[in-house]
Chains A and B, each alone.
Chain A
Amino acid sequence: MLTRRQFLHLLGGSAAAGLGGFADLRNIAAAADLNMKAAGEDYRALIMLFMFGGNDGNNTVVPTASGEYSQYAAGRTSVLALPTAQLLPLTITNTPGRTFGLHPAMTGMQGLINTGKAGIVANVGPLIVPTTKAQLRARSVPLPNDLYSHSDQQQQWQSSISDGAPRTGWGGRLGDLVAASNGTNRTSTCISVTGNNLFEVGTTLTSFKVSPGNQFGFDFYKGPTSTEPLSQGITELMAMNSPSLFEGAWKDVIARAIENQKILADALATATPFTTTFPNTGLGQQFQMIARLIRVRQALGLKRQVFFASIGGFDTHGDDQLQRQTELLGAISGAVTAFYNATVEMDVANQVTTFTASDFNRTFRSNGKGSDHAWGNHHFVVGGAVDGGKMHGTFPTMGVDGPDDTGGGHFIPTTSVDQYSATLAKWFGVSVGDMPTILPGIGRFPVSDLGFMKTVT
């Protein structure tokens, strides 16, 4: 029951704080060869791909060894269980005795995993401390706030803070840390191609929004030096001092929009086209724009970037779950695969890592039609620097009320969002000393590097 409307950007989003002013995106050093990777260029980019609504991870990565599949099929019932024959075989190399299949719509992703360019991190979710089923039952450990609530779990994934009211996201905190390396173009450190989000809100930085549709600029504004009355009026209205904080915020957005969008547009005009074809989906357009922005990184003078992309529609409580997830995962697989190919084309595959996130997994058991909100979920990490073809973390035991199930069909995470994020942050260049600044809860877990990223060389 999917229509054209569903792939129009389905935004989610949430709250945040702390913009200390922004730097202009100036100093575009236009040069013909800037689309090429420079020898020894120091560049890294992280892309969070958020699946709004809560992706049903249970049908995204499925155990295929006979015993485990039977448990899976019994638990999911005929309503939700995917037939073995439809699952795409994965050549996971590090789980002796356990085999896995991928959702049938993710052929591209299958190729990335089986060629070692992508890995899976199993059963990740927000945790305050490592938590077992016994501890949960006994309520002997603190639990994340507001489990199963869309808005709160989105915020916890994006902030990696589950025991307070997060005001910043971990991508924004990363941005604060590395912005200096981006020279005058600090504003381009955190870019969203899909609207406001908490992930990229830092203390001094916030995300700069770029349209995936390549829409830039306020057509009626001729710039700050124009003598045309309308343009002068706009310039002067924006320069006015307003005691109202709301008016100030309104002007800030306009100023960022009409000034810096133009600078980005000018830079993008220098981007050479890709041989890689991106799918004509909303997400495909988002990843194409990210790829184009990466292509002009040198023109903008950037060394570290954080991107945010998203796709919505995963809140599949109803009987359209199977069809809808097929469409959505297909869109993800297509977009991410094209994007990876584009990074190869640009010779930055090892410098760019994409990882997925979502509100939560969905209940292992069906509500008779679809499934409801759950907890620990499986995610993908894609890029040349990923220790790919592997199942990282611990894949849960299938089965209703099994050892990993809270009893409600929710898997208790065995890897925390903090650990997942810290592994990526380390690859991005965060030192051990800085890690608690980026991920304040990381010290509560025994391992901060899950090893799914190869050592930076």
Chain B
Amino acid sequence: MATRSGISRGFSRSLVGTSLGLLFMSQGVAAQESDFGQDCRPVPIHVFTNLGNNSHFLTMHEPQKVFLQSSRPDYRYDGIAYHAYPTKALNSVGVSRLYSPSANVHFYTASSSDKSAFKSRYPDAVDEGIDHYAPQGMGGGAVEIVRFSRPNGQAGTRFAGSSADIQSLTQSGMVRDSVSFHAFPRGMATAGMPVSRCEPGPIYRFMHKQATATFLTPSEAEKKFVESNRPDYQYQGIAFYAHGPDATTTPGVNRFYNPTTQTHFYTSSDAERASYASSGAINEGINFAVQPPSKAVAADLAKVYRLRHPSTQRFLYAVSESERDSWIKTYGFKDDGALMTCLKVSKPSTSGTNKAPTVTLTAPAFLASTPASAKLTATATDTDGTISKVEFYNGAVKLGETTAAPHEYNWANIAPGSYAVLAVAIDDKGARGTSNTLPVVVAASPAVFSDAQKNAARLLTQATFGIKSQAEIDGVAASGVNGWLNQQFALGWNSHVAYVDAAKSREGKVKEEHAYEAIWQQWLNEPGQLRARMSFALSQIFVISNIAPDLDTYAMASYMDLLNRNAFGNYRTLLGEVTLHPAMGYYLNMQGSKKADPVKGTHPNENYAREVLQLFSIGLYKLNTDGSRVIGGDGKPISTYDETVVKGFARAFSGWNFAGNNTSDPKVFDPAKENWLEPMQAWEMMHETGTKQLLDGKVLPASQTARKDLDDALDTIFNHPNVGPFIGRQLIQRFVTSNPSPAYIGRVAAAFNNNGSGVRGDLKAVLTAVLTDAEARSLAGISAPSWGKQREPVIRFANYLRGLNATSPTGRNKIWYLDDADEGLGQSPLLAPSVFNFFSPNYRQPGPLAAANLVAPEFQITTETSMVGQLNFFAKLVKNASYGSGDTKLTLNLDALNTLAADPVKLVDALNLQFMNGLMTESTRTVMLTKLAAISATKPVDRTKAALTLLSLSPEFAIQK
């Protein structure tokens, strides 16, 4: 026997004693309002907990509540969840119930895509139809009803209608779902709930074949259940139409079940209720409502006759005189004298030949100011008469009406929130036409973020690969800048070489891509974010690149380990390790560089010597501590070195090659056996023995060892006064702003020169100076037109992956080559086009920036073509909500944002704090809110994705301030 519902299953008490999960009408009522619409109020929606799996069961139907309480100990009654409409109301959306027998869970949603998702997850799921109708928007005091799922993919959901409920479910470990609907909160006074206009629904009629008794139900689910499972009942079609039990001015019809006579009995009479109940029948509660004659056109009313059998005391309900007379004759029933007035057997329609009027509504989609007011304008026409009035509704709440054109209603003092408005036109004969429903969003005042929050968010933006949550911001605000820095300084990193080793054992080979994966693992997942940012910044100063020549995978991984190891160490140690690292040795040709050969006419390789001076330490011109150029007596900048010095350093750096070789054997110098993990070592016989001209007149004496020359040469560089401002400025550019003031550079350079304890080159002190400087932290300064920097493309990508909690099945990634400008981001770690990195610290973007004498490094890779590539990259990322494929596919978790998306204001506020540090301008906010409000509230995912796409290209995200 097929089972339609876990609740319905086994409900049969006896031959005809069924009290099934009841649904008031679901389908079959015209979308357009009929003449039969009438005022109705929300009814309580009861909630039970399925004790087997803690999942909620909701029902609006009182008989079902009564039955569950008495007969299903596996369900616990938890009271009223909220209030909603029992039949289709103006501006309402049906909340459907689905049931999966295999999982034994019920599932409720107002979204068809959500419904499909449940069905695809549980192939045995049955759509039991609409249980109740939720108001659209927040009119009349409606609140958001948030659904939570059990963690770790367990079946079952629960609902929260208050912040306390939400907090409680969150703390219990349940996961907030991305969809929600609105309803009126429990505890709200019934009198305070808005009266809406509801449509009547069909009442289905069955006759029990053996017992000869009528069973009526307004529930399509119950009808389906009986049809499938109770062959002893014969379906007789729709008997009539009726409103739900909420109808404000109509008497409710109770359903009784009498176990003695095994029959159902329906009455709206108080006296009969009392007497029938005393006879031992069970009052199953109100089932539907009688139609008072005054509420409809007489021609549309149907009389329902009750017949009683004198001996069995069973009842039949006939809907016409002929039926009544026939049954009396055939079955021996007597007219019981009770007569209900209901709506006719035919589908409700406009009466007679009068045609209903049509009406269209216009309203502003978005209102920025609060308190807001909106002019609602209705255009109503009636082809066969005149318009007598137009009613304006906010959700279910009637706002007012007009009786003459122009039909305009000024809706004033609208509180912030999301609303759905419509108009109803009524013609001279009483026929009604309903307009389109329009969303109206009134922006809340922007969420007020404290300066502490903004600055905490700014710090996280400057110094991490992306803010993961508001909690993270609040944590930083609580610990303060120095507190956070100290936490970060204490955190380590996972070895990139170990990552490559693991990949090698997993995949049986080493690929260059493993080196990139290790970098992204660190960026996306590790708590030591400051170290990760610093090592990335250093990789853009001490550049190696796999573009050309090809680098060994282990060389790249161990180089990243080197940068991580020294990120908070001393610049001199860093410089020494970089110089002897085989990756750098190979990239800039110090590896294998040997002394001059007068016979061959060769000289030591100048590549590393030149670039270590020009790019890694001091630059081309003598600098003051504040980074400005020293100007000579001729009014020109003073070069820091000339060709003689480059050659001097090249000579000082000669004689080094891979570790692990016999350094006393000149034959193994070239070629030497490769070793990508250990520092290079010296072959003394390959080292230039003469004197070496270094910086500022310093000359190394002849005949020093290769190691001594190297150390002396690097000490000379390290002690050059340029290093502090030269490196300090670039670190400020990587973390904070493209054009720091000379004073800011000076303060950072001073920290380089002396960390406060007399130590030169302490990078922890330098980084602290960069990030704690008043210029970096001041909110006042960031509105200057010259302030800020473009977030690097790869950092923007990381911001999205971290901020949207991207995860993959294996926890790994395959983020490899992003440097293609057409399809990628024009930037990718360890893939710079040359040792000059992706961009120069001095790049000038033609236009107003250059005219203002400002540099804009990241704009060097921001071309019309790379921009198109980036725009498409981010839009695709958002559209797919994922990056990559297979077991390393990184999937974005948009659930939290989708939940917020019901209210664009909340969505935009959340994005503002997490991605714009709470600094979004009113004008950007207005654009975002207006466009999001124009997307249907029933499509929260569309709203979220549109918001994230707009955000990805918005200037206030792209430019870090």
Interface residues of B in 851-877 (CB under 8 A from A): 851-852, 854-856, 859-869, 871-872, 875
- Once the chains bind, are A215 and B593 in contact (CB under 8 Å)? no
Report if B931 contacts A (CB, 8 A). yes
CB distance from A196 to the nearest CB of B (A): 5
Name the contact of B594 in the complex, choosing from A237, A320, A368 (C-beta under 8 A).
A368
Bound-state CA distance A409–B596 (Å) is: 13
- Once the chains bind, are A11 and B833 in contact (CB under 8 Å)? yes
Bound-state CA distance A136–B646 (Å) is: 18
- The stretch of A114-122, A240-248, A414-422, A436-444 that contacts the partner chain: A240-248
- Once the chains bind, are A245 and B946 in contact (CB under 8 Å)? no
Report if A86 contacts B (CB, 8 A). no
- Once the chains bind, are A15 and B847 in contact (CB under 8 Å)? no
Report if A55 contacts B (CB, 8 A). no
Most buried by B among A11, A254, A260, A369: A11
- Once the chains bind, are B785 and A8 in contact (CB under 8 Å)? no
Report if B272 contacts A (CB, 8 A). no
- Once the chains bind, are A17 and B851 in contact (CB under 8 Å)? yes
- Once the chains bind, are B547 and A213 in contact (CB under 8 Å)? no
Report if A10 contacts B (CB, 8 A). yes
Interface residues of A in 192-213 (CB under 8 A from B): 192, 195-196, 201, 206, 208-211, 213
Report if B630 contacts A (CB, 8 A). no
Report if A266 contacts B (CB, 8 A). no
Report if B849 contacts A (CB, 8 A). yes
- The stretch of A96-104, A225-233, A335-343 that contacts the partner chain: A225-233
A240-B924, A252-B847 known; A150-B834 Cβ under 8 A:
yes
Bound-state CA distance A3–B548 (Å) is: 8
Convert A392-417 into 0s and 1s, putting 1 for each residue whose CB lies closer than 8 angstroms to a CB of B: 00000000100000001100000000
**B604's closest neighbor in chain A, by CB?**
A367
Report if B310 contacts A (CB, 8 A). no
Bound-state CA distance A373–B607 (Å) is: 8
- Once the chains bind, are B783 and A365 in contact (CB under 8 Å)? no
CB distance from B838 to the nearest CB of A (A): 8
Most buried by B among A206, A324, A367: A367
Report if A134 contacts B (CB, 8 A). no
- The stretch of B526-534, B658-666, B953-961 that contacts the partner chain: B953-961
Bound-state CA distance A74–B598 (Å) is: 12
- The stretch of B41-49, B146-154, B771-779, B815-823 that contacts the partner chain: B815-823
- The stretch of A62-70, A290-298, A299-307, A310-318 that contacts the partner chain: A310-318
- Once the chains bind, are A8 and B547 in contact (CB under 8 Å)? yes
Report if A257 contacts B (CB, 8 A). yes
CB distance from B836 to the nearest CB of A (A): 6
Name the contact of A408 in the complex, choosing from B593, B643, B847, B946 (C-beta under 8 A).
B643
- Once the chains bind, are B950 and A167 in contact (CB under 8 Å)? no
Residues of chain B lying within 8 A (CB to CB) of residue A254? 867, 871, 953
- Once the chains bind, are A372 and B868 in contact (CB under 8 Å)? no
Residues of chain B lying within 8 A (CB to CB) of residue A5? 546-548, 550, 831
Convert B635-654 into 0s and 1s, putting 1 for each residue whose CB lies closer than 8 angstroms to a CB of A: 00001000100110010000
Report if B341 contacts A (CB, 8 A). no
- Once the chains bind, are A240 and B923 in contact (CB under 8 Å)? yes
Report if A79 contacts B (CB, 8 A). yes
Bound-state CA distance A78–B601 (Å) is: 11
**B935's closest neighbor in chain A, by CB?**
A229
Interface size band for B: 35 or more
A245-B785, A249-B859, A372-B607 known; A219-B866 Cβ under 8 A:
no
Report if A157 contacts B (CB, 8 A). no
Report if B369 contacts A (CB, 8 A). no
Report if B606 contacts A (CB, 8 A). yes
Bound-state CA distance A233–B844 (Å) is: 29
Residues of chain A lying within 8 A (CB to CB) of residue B610? 148-149, 372-373
Report if A428 contacts B (CB, 8 A). no
Name the contact of A15 in the complex, choosing from B607, B783, B823, B843 (C-beta under 8 A).
B843
Report if A24 contacts B (CB, 8 A). no
**B594's closest neighbor in chain A, by CB?**
A368
Name the contact of B854 in the complex, choosing from A11, A146, A210, A245 (C-beta under 8 A).
A245
- Once the chains bind, are B639 and A16 in contact (CB under 8 Å)? no
- Once the chains bind, are B822 and A249 in contact (CB under 8 Å)? no
Report if A108 contacts B (CB, 8 A). no
Name the contact of A319 in the complex, choosing from B592, B606, B789, B823 (C-beta under 8 A).
B592
Residues of chain B lying within 8 A (CB to CB) of residue A221? 871
Bound-state CA distance A365–B783 (Å) is: 55
Residues of chain A lying within 8 A (CB to CB) of residue B588? 317
Name the contact of B847 in the complex, choosing from A13, A19, A209, A236 (C-beta under 8 A).
A19
CB distance from B192 to the nearest CB of A (A): 35
Bound-state CA distance A75–B603 (Å) is: 12
Bound-state CA distance A52–B851 (Å) is: 27
- Once the chains bind, are B605 and A250 in contact (CB under 8 Å)? no
Name the contact of B606 in the complex, choosing from A15, A16, A373 (C-beta under 8 A).
A373
- Once the chains bind, are B834 and A52 in contact (CB under 8 Å)? yes
Report if B616 contacts A (CB, 8 A). no
Name the contact of B954 in the complex, choosing from A150, A210, A237 (C-beta under 8 A).
A237
Interface residues of B in 769-823 (CB under 8 A from A): 783, 785-790, 819-823
Bound-state CA distance A74–B844 (Å) is: 44
A146-B620, A237-B950, A249-B856 known; A366-B600 Cβ under 8 A:
yes
- Once the chains bind, are B821 and A9 in contact (CB under 8 Å)? yes
- Once the chains bind, are A247 and B601 in contact (CB under 8 Å)? no
Report if A56 contacts B (CB, 8 A). no
- Once the chains bind, are B601 and A150 in contact (CB under 8 Å)? no
CB distance from A280 to the nearest CB of B (A): 16
- Once the chains bind, are B836 and A150 in contact (CB under 8 Å)? yes
Residues of chain B lying within 8 A (CB to CB) of residue A195? 821, 861, 863, 865-866
Bound-state CA distance A240–B935 (Å) is: 21
Report if A6 contacts B (CB, 8 A). yes
Interface residues of B in 83-117 (CB under 8 A from A): none
- Once the chains bind, are B864 and A256 in contact (CB under 8 Å)? yes
Residues of chain B lying within 8 A (CB to CB) of residue A249? 845, 847-849, 856, 859, 862
CB distance from B546 to the nearest CB of A (A): 7
- Once the chains bind, are B548 and A365 in contact (CB under 8 Å)? no
Report if B842 contacts A (CB, 8 A). yes
CB distance from A328 to the nearest CB of B (A): 10
CB distance from B221 to the nearest CB of A (A): 37
Residues of chain B lying within 8 A (CB to CB) of residue A14? 840, 843
- Once the chains bind, are B868 and A211 in contact (CB under 8 Å)? yes
Residues of chain A lying within 8 A (CB to CB) of residue B840? 13-15, 151
Residues of chain A lying within 8 A (CB to CB) of residue B854? 245
- Once the chains bind, are A16 and B846 in contact (CB under 8 Å)? yes
CB distance from B555 to the nearest CB of A (A): 14
CB distance from A1 to the nearest CB of B (A): 5
Report if A429 contacts B (CB, 8 A). no
Convert A70-89 into 0s and 1s, putting 1 for each residue whose CB lies closer than 8 angstroms to a CB of B: 00001101110000000000
CB distance from A261 to the nearest CB of B (A): 6
A residues with CB within 8 A of B: 1-3, 5-6, 8-19, 52-53, 74-75, 77-79, 146-152, 167, 192, 195-196, 201, 206, 208-211, 213, 215-221, 229-230, 232-234, 236-237, 240-254, 256-258, 260-261, 312-313, 315, 317-320, 324, 363, 365-370, 372-373, 400, 408-409
B residues with CB within 8 A of A: 546-550, 586, 588-589, 592-594, 597, 600-607, 610, 614, 620, 639, 643, 646-647, 650, 670, 738, 783, 785-790, 819-823, 831, 833-834, 836, 840, 842-852, 854-856, 859-869, 871-872, 875, 879, 923-924, 927-928, 930-932, 934-935, 946, 949-950, 953-956, 958-959, 961
Apart from A1-B549, A52-B834, A149-B620, what are 9 other A-B pairs with CB-CB below 8 Å?
A52-B833, A147-B643, A195-B865, A220-B875, A246-B788, A248-B849, A261-B864, A369-B593, A370-B605
The 9 closest A-B pairs by CB, nearest first: A247-B955, A17-B850, A19-B847, A233-B931, A317-B607, A19-B846, A209-B863, A215-B822, A317-B589
A-B contact pairs, 15 of them (CB 8 A): A5-B550, A17-B851, A18-B851, A208-B864, A213-B822, A229-B932, A230-B931, A230-B949, A250-B790, A250-B958, A261-B864, A317-B588, A318-B592, A367-B604, A367-B606
